[in-house]
Amino acid sequence: MANTSFNIVDGVGKIYYALLDPKTEEYQAVKLFSDMVIEFGMTPAQESKPVHGSNREITQLKGLLTGAVTMTIQSIASDVKAECFGLEVANEGGTIDKGATPPYIALMVEKSLDHGEMEYLTLYRGQLTNIGDKAKTKENSTPEAQPIEISGNYSQLSDGLFKWAVRSTDTGFNSETFATNWGKKVIKPTKKSQ
């Protein structure tokens, strides 16, 4: 019988990113996106179309695998915000939004699980499309953190790679090798031979 464990997440750690050239699918240097993450979510979707023959459906053709990304963070540096959303950095500080198309980026998310386990998620090709900008007046003289809400859309690379999720307890996981690469380069997994 397989060992089944619950997916109890203690917290979301750091999120890293790397700019992606959509033509060559080469990544630039990996950089820190935020280490003040409140929440991260990715909802995958895949459309399928029926194929008919002999007056009945004979198969389904699967479409492109996509995912809607949402995250809530406490802080993002202006240079990171500009680079990930296609904004310009102002001489006077802050960022200028001129409606430019955001670049494609990879996202790498680390999650701490129960019993000291870790899970690492990499999304390989996507764009962050919206960054919320709201503020709330404190109530009852109690200061309140003002989180930033971000959303985006992810899809597959030309080789079909969409995401990779690995746990520190997975068979084949080498913590020393992984630690030398995680947060430093975009890791592409290889398929285990039979």
Question: How far is the C-alpha of 65 from the C-alpha of 15, rounded, in Å?
Answer: 22
Question: How far is the C-alpha of 40 from the C-alpha of 111, rounded, in Å?
Answer: 9
Q: Give the pair of three-digit tokens for residue 129.
A: 């499309």
Could you tell me which residue, 186 or 93, shows the higher pLDDT? 186
Q: Which residues pair with 111 in a beta bridge?
A: 12, 119
Instruction: Give the pTM.
Output: 0.84
Is the domain spanning 9-45+60-133+144-181 CATH 2.30.110? The answer is yes
Q: Is pLDDT at 163 greater than 80 in this prediction?
A: yes
* Confidence band, pLDDT 50/70/90 cuts, at residue 134: confident
pLDDT tens-digit readout, 35-83? 999 999 999 887 777 776 777 777 766 677 889 999 999 989 999 999 9
Long-range pairs of 182-188 with CB within 8 A, sequence gap ≥ 24:
182/108, 182/110, 182/120, 183/14, 183/16, 183/30, 183/32, 183/108, 184/30, 185/18, 185/27, 185/30, 186/18, 186/27, 186/30, 186/106, 186/108, 186/122, 186/124, 187/122, 188/124, 188/161, 188/164
